[in-house]
Structure formats: C-alpha cells, structure tokens
C-alpha cells in the first residue's frame, strides 16, 4: 500500500503530525488529490516558520523551501492565511511578496529594531 492509496481521512491524520510548512512544501503539486488535501484550512490558515530547539529558535528551513513558498505556494494560499509565525530572516521576504486579506495574527521572532521600523512604517498593510 502506498500513501496515495490511503483514504483522505487517514492521510489527514498522518499529515497533521508533521510540520505544516514541510507538508505544504513536500506535497505541493504532487497530484490534484494531494493539492486538495494540503489546501485544507488545517494546513493553510496558520503557518509557522519558526522552529524551536532547547528553548531557542533554530532556522532549519532550506533556501529551496523558502523560495518555493515565496514563488509558488504562498500566492496560491495567501487568501486563506489567518496567522503567520515568522523568524526575522523570512519576514520581509514573505510579508512584502503578497497581500494576506484574512491575516489577523502575526508572531514575529528575533526581530531587530531596523526590521520592525521597515515592516511597520515602510510597507503597506499585509
């Protein structure tokens, strides 16, 4: 039996155990069924680009993942995103690339004063 043979309900149970961003990255454009499953609000309403290790933030996301999110995934799901958790190295890249009409929460981590000034005075709303 292959992953693709599982019913949607079982597939969702498995995918919910994984990091949301990695699910979107790994299964994006595999086939129509996986696209439908990963576009479920479980995976698209709250995106967390912050990883923790021993009480400190660790940036473990590859540049390939960040590029694919910026260019392909975020434009497709931007209208569904309600919450972002972002580490400083991703903030300007993600927040300036798209408009997020349903965004109601934003968690910002490891942010310096210069980046905050740019985000909240130099940019339009998200």
User: pLDDT tens digit string along 39-50?
Assistant: 999 999 999 888
| Structure tokens that stand for 40 in this block | 């479920």
Range with the poorest average pLDDT among 46-50, 82-86, 104-108, 113-117: 113-117
pTM of the model: 0.80
For residue 12, give the 3-state DSSP assignment: helix
Instruction: Find the length of the chain.
Output: 126
Residue 16 predicted with pLDDT over 70? yes
| Structure tokens that stand for 97 in this block | 């690339």
Phi-psi region for residue 107, left (φ > 0), alpha (ψ -120 to 50) or beta?
beta
Nearest CA-CA partner of 60 in 52, 68, 69? 52
């Amino acid at each position: 039996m292959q992953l693709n043979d599982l019913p949607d309900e079982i597939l969702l149970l498995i995918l919910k155990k994984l990091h949301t961003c990695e699910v979107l990255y790994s299964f994006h454009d595999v086939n129509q069924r996986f696209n439908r499953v990963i576009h479920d609000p479980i995976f698209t309403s709250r995106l967390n680009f912050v990883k923790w290790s021993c009480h400190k933030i660790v940036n473990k996301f590859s540049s390939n993942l960040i590029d694919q999110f910026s260019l392909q995934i975020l434009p497709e799901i931007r209208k569904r995103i309600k919450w972002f958790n972002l580490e400083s190295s991703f903030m300007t890249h993600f927040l300036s690339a798209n408009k997020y009409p349903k965004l109601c929460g934003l968690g910002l981590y490891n942010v310096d004063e210069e980046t905050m000034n740019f985000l909240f005075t130099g940019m339009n709303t998200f």
